[in-house]
A and B are shown apart, each in its own frame.
Chain A
Amino acid sequence: MPRTDMMKEKGLTLVDAINEALYQEMERDERVVCLGEDVGLNGGVFRVTDGLQKRFGADRVVDTPLAESGIMGTAIGLAMGGMRPIPEIQFEGFLGPAYDQLTNHAARYRTRSRGAITVPMTVRVPVGGGIHAPELHSDSPESIYAHTPGLKVVMPCTPYDAKGLLLSAIRDPDPIVFFEPKRVYRSYREQIPEEEYTIPIGQAKVVSEGTDITVVSWGASVFECLAALDKLPEDVSAELIDLRTIYPIDQDTIIQSVLKTGRCVIVHEAPKTCGMGAELSAIIQEHCFLHLKAPVQRVAGFDTVMPYYKLELEYLPNAERIGEAIVQTLSY
Chain B
Amino acid sequence: MPPRGVILGLFMAQMTTDTHSGAGLRKARTHRVSDALPGETLIGWLKDMLLIREFENRCAQAYQQAKIGGFCHLYTGQEAVAVGTIQSLERDDPIVTAYRDHGHALARGMDPGACMAEMFGKITGCAKGKGGSMHMFDKPNWLFGGHGIVGAQTPLGTGLAFAARYEWEVMGKPCPNPGVKPGDKPKKKVSLAYLGDGALNQGALHEAMNLAGLYSLPVIYVVENNGYSMGTAIERGTTMAHDLRKKADAYGIRGEIIDGFDVIDLYDDFKPVVDWCRENQRPAFVDLKTYRYLGHSMSDPQKYRTKEEVDQFKGKDSIDRLASQLMGERKGKDGKPILSETRFTEIQAEVKEAVRKAMDFAEESPTPEVEAELYSDVFINPQPNLSPTRDYIHGVKNPLL
Contacts and interface: CB of A to CB of B under 8 A. Distances in A.
A282 B111 CA distance: 47
B163 A114 contact: no
Specify which of B139, B144, B147 lies most central, judged by the most chain A CB atoms within 10 Å of its CB.
B144
Contacts of B208: 70, 73-74
Contact of A77 (B159, B171, B174, B207): B159
Contact of B163 (A69, A77, A110, A248): A77
A251 interface: yes
A249 B207 CA distance: 35
B259 to A, nearest CB: 29
Interface string A52-95: 00000101101011010111111111111111010000000000
Interface string B115-150: 000000000001110110001011100001101110
A72 B159 CA distance: 9
Nearest to A83: B163
B210 A76 contact: no
Interface stretch (B70-78, B83-91, B338-346, B393-401): B393-401
B164 interface: yes
Given A60-B170, A73-B155, A251-B384, A100 B377 contact: no
B162 interface: yes
Interface in B45-60: none
A116 B211 contact: no
Contact of B159 (A30, A59, A76, A149): A76
B22 interface: no
Contact of A104 (B152, B167, B380): B152
B3 to A, nearest CB: 34
A80 B148 CA distance: 17
Contacts of A149: 378, 386
B131 A113 contact: yes
A67 B210 contact: yes
Contact of B162 (A74, A100, A105, A202): A74
Interface residues of A, number: 50
Interface in A123-160: 149-150, 152
Contacts of A202: 383
A70 B170 contact: no
B298 interface: no
A254 to B, nearest CB: 12
A116 B127 contact: yes
B177 interface: yes
Contacts of A79: 159
A101 interface: yes
B384 A248 contact: yes
A148 to B, nearest CB: 11
Interface residues of B, number: 58
B268 to A, nearest CB: 29
B126 to A, nearest CB: 8
B210 A74 contact: no
B361 interface: no
A205 B58 CA distance: 57
Contacts of A111: 130, 377-378
Given A59-B166, A114-B127, A249-B384, A74 B159 contact: yes
B320 to A, nearest CB: 36
A150 B379 contact: yes
Nearest to A70: B207
B128 A81 contact: no
B157 A150 contact: no
B226 interface: no
B152 A30 contact: no
A117 B139 contact: yes
A77 B158 CA distance: 7
A33 interface: yes
A122 B400 CA distance: 27
Interface string A24-42: 0000001101000000000
Given A76-B155, A116-B400, A150-B378, A70 B210 contact: yes
Contacts of B135: 112-113
A160 B5 CA distance: 65
Contacts of A31: 171, 175
Contacts of B127: 112-114, 116
Contacts of A49: none
Contacts of A59: 166, 169-170
B131 to A, nearest CB: 5
B335 interface: no
B323 interface: no
Interface in A152-204: 152, 173-174, 202
Contacts of A115: 377, 395, 397-398, 401
B379 A152 contact: yes
A115 B166 CA distance: 24
Query: Which of A30, A70, A79, A251 counts the most chain B CB atoms within 10 A?
Result: A70
Given A77-B158, A111-B378, 11 more contacts: A57-B170, A70-B158, A70-B211, A74-B158, A74-B159, A77-B144, A78-B166, A109-B145, A113-B139, A115-B398, A152-B379
17 contacts: A67-B210, A70-B210, A74-B162, A74-B208, A77-B96, A77-B191, A78-B160, A81-B166, A82-B163, A82-B175, A83-B163, A83-B175, A85-B159, A104-B152, A116-B138, A116-B398, A117-B145
Interface of A: 30-31, 33, 57, 59-60, 62, 64-65, 67, 69-83, 85, 97, 100-101, 104-105, 109-118, 149-150, 152, 173-174, 202, 248-249, 251
Interface of B: 94, 96, 126-128, 130-131, 135, 137-139, 144-145, 147-149, 152, 154-164, 166-167, 169-171, 174-177, 191, 203-204, 207-208, 210-211, 214-215, 377-380, 383-384, 386, 395, 397-398, 400-401
The 10 closest A-B pairs by CB, nearest first: A77-B159, A73-B155, A81-B163, A82-B175, A70-B207, A113-B137, A67-B207, A114-B128, A74-B159, A77-B156
